[in-house]
Chains A and B, each alone.
Chain A
Amino acid sequence: MKACEFVDAGAIEQYFYGELEPAAGVRLEGHVERCATCRQHLDDLRSIRTALASRVRVEGPPSGDWAAFTRRLDGATATPAPPQRSRSFMPWLAIAAALTIVTSGVLRTNRTVQEPLLPMFERLTGPPSAAADIPGPAGPATVADRSLVEHSEEHFERSKLVVLGLATLDPQHARAADWQHERQLAGSLLPDTRLYRLAAEQRGMTGLARVLGDLETVLLETSMSEHADPDALQRVQRLIARRDLVVKMNVVGSGI
């Protein structure tokens, strides 16, 4: 596909997120009608958003006993052995994606059974204090805490475009140009990530700070990698997998 200056300049992303001035938005719409590259790019963004927005409804066990689910989750999120270079990343990704959807569905639809879920959350996000970082809907610790959590949730949502984009690329077939877009996006997300991490650290919200720190490492490694080759991509994918980043972002982003 041919490159387009609107894509390179990030105008499509700005348009997608409603950040373009109205007049510029109208001009871009006219351009998108004529430009297959931009149209494809916009469609990709919409597809990803749709995929991310869909949540599978998962009913909790009637007994309220989450032990079996937690055991399965532990098994699946345990740090995998270092993958062989020639092995595809896709099976791990499939597990992570399935877990992400299931976890997020469970958390969203079973707010009333938070007590059994709490240990799982602690395992995902760090020490016990981490769970207390995320104020529940009933009682945020402070207005600033709530604001920070909301900003972080929105930021995780934006960052998933990059993280899932990277995780789904096939290192054996991806060329440097294929993940150039993710690298650019990663660079644009870095300043906010750092700002929110520092704010979380200042407020003693260690669990949230830790997830943001993991995201920052991934974004930094992605955007600054001097070697955009399959090995570099695989290393970023391993980083995402080993830090359980997708699952953690979903758990924190689900707002428990």
Chain B
Amino acid sequence: MRRLVICLVGCLIISAAAWAAPAAESKRMAHAKDAIADEHWVSAIADLKAAADDPKETSRAEAMFWLAHCQNQTGEEVAALQSIARLQREFPSSPWIRFAQSLRLEIAQKLNRDDVLWQMARPARPALAPAPPAPAATPAPVRPRSPRPTLAAAPLPPEPALAIPPPAPVAPEANVWIMSPLPPDTNLRIQALGSLMQTHPDRVIPLLKEIALDPSSPGDGRRAVFVLAQSPNPQAQSSVLEVAKLAAEPVRVEAVKELGRFASANVSRELLDVYHVGTPRVKREVVTSLGERSDTSALLRIAQSERDVSVRNTAIVTLGRAGGRDELRALYKAVPADSRKALLTALFNAGDEDELIRIAQSDRDPGVRTAARTNLRLLGTAKALAFLSKAR
């Protein structure tokens, strides 16, 4: 009897553990994912369709997402949109919905459905930005590979500027473009705005700038700066400058990097404008950008006037990397004691053996003379080695 009770308790424990553990992925799903890895889309679609239709499948939402993904890969945009709509309808709170929304935006972009993109791009709260436009009267040219899906309803009417209407009640299959009523997702907004940048820059740029200047999410701000900087539009570029001056520090740093890559002749002046209102971290990024542009005169000005020792030393070392030998020689007499080591490093970076030899011979500070000799030894040029052997 006692054995029987122990056996029963054991069985109960094992059953409970099996019940509590997450069910293993089905062989069908595993096979489908291997097919995705091999880009065997047709084979994957067959497995995923079966998984999505099987009520016993534990990963149906996931199956529907990957089904839409594979259908999009094979150019079946209509089927992909239907799979997304089904996912949204049957699993409205699934974490896969967000990725499905992103996929839907990609398809909308392929099909030039700016109205759908604007649905996602408009701000989630009242904003000063202008309202999104109504769909263009004349349809934009459709790329050859992308037939407009027959299931898609007519473009949505323009929305009032500051209102976010609730999703219209529609029959399940009536409109594959209706977005799920999820909390606002700035990543999706940025994706949609990026897609609209070429066609509606005047309306997109202020919205991206607003995201970039929002201090609550530096990650989103960084991505918004990236999209702005990808545009050749002068308004976008001046927005990057503004962000570099006003945004949260990590976003400013990103904006400075982008500014440094611009081809405009005014970039150095703009970088210096940012420098004058920057934190030490922003200033160091400005210095790096000026170094990448080999603007030795701007670097010299910073090295001469900057009070923050870390920024000043960064400018000095960067000056060496930029090959500013003359500027470094001019600095030598004026540089404060706490920047002497940086100056020697910069001369080493610039390969200026003559100046290092001169310092090793004539500087009043024995520590500086020793450091100069060390740098000459590391430099290892014939002239440096000859000097060192003579000086022994």
Contact = CB atoms under 8 A, between A and B. Distances in A.
B250 A19 contact: yes
B196 to A, nearest CB: 11
Interface stretch (B7-15, B31-39, B123-131, B349-357): B31-39
A33 interface: no
Interface stretch (A68-76, A91-99, A162-170, A216-224): A216-224
B262 A143 contact: yes
Given A192-B223, A195-B190, A221-B33, A229 B24 contact: yes
B167 interface: no
Interface of B: 22-25, 30, 33-34, 36-38, 58-59, 62, 95-96, 99, 102, 106, 187, 190-191, 194-195, 198, 219, 223, 226-227, 229-232, 249-250, 258, 261-263, 281
Contact of B263 (A22, A143, A229): A143
Nearest to B106: A198
A144 B99 contact: no
A195 B22 contact: no
Given A147-B229, A235-B34, A226 B219 contact: no
Given A150-B261, A192-B223, A194-B102, A227 B24 contact: yes
A127 interface: no
Interface string A222-250: 00101101011001001100110000000
Contact of B191 (A195, A231, A232, A242): A195
B329 to A, nearest CB: 29
A138 B226 CA distance: 23
Q: Is the interface of B mostly helix, strand, loop or mixed?
A: helix
Contacts of A221: 33
Contacts of A82: 34
The 4 closest A-B CB pairs, nearest first, are A239-B37, A227-B25, A191-B187, A242-B37
Given A231-B24, A238-B37, 12 more contacts: A144-B230, A148-B230, A194-B102, A195-B190, A199-B230, A202-B194, A202-B195, A224-B95, A226-B62, A229-B25, A232-B25, A243-B37
Nearest to B279: A22
Contact of B30 (A194, A199, A235): A235
Given A144-B229, A150-B261, A238-B37, A198 B25 contact: no
29 contacts: A22-B281, A79-B38, A82-B34, A143-B262, A144-B229, A144-B230, A147-B230, A192-B223, A194-B191, A195-B190, A195-B226, A198-B195, A199-B226, A202-B194, A202-B195, A220-B99, A221-B33, A224-B95, A226-B25, A226-B58, A226-B59, A226-B62, A227-B59, A229-B25, A231-B25, A231-B30, A232-B25, A238-B34, A243-B37
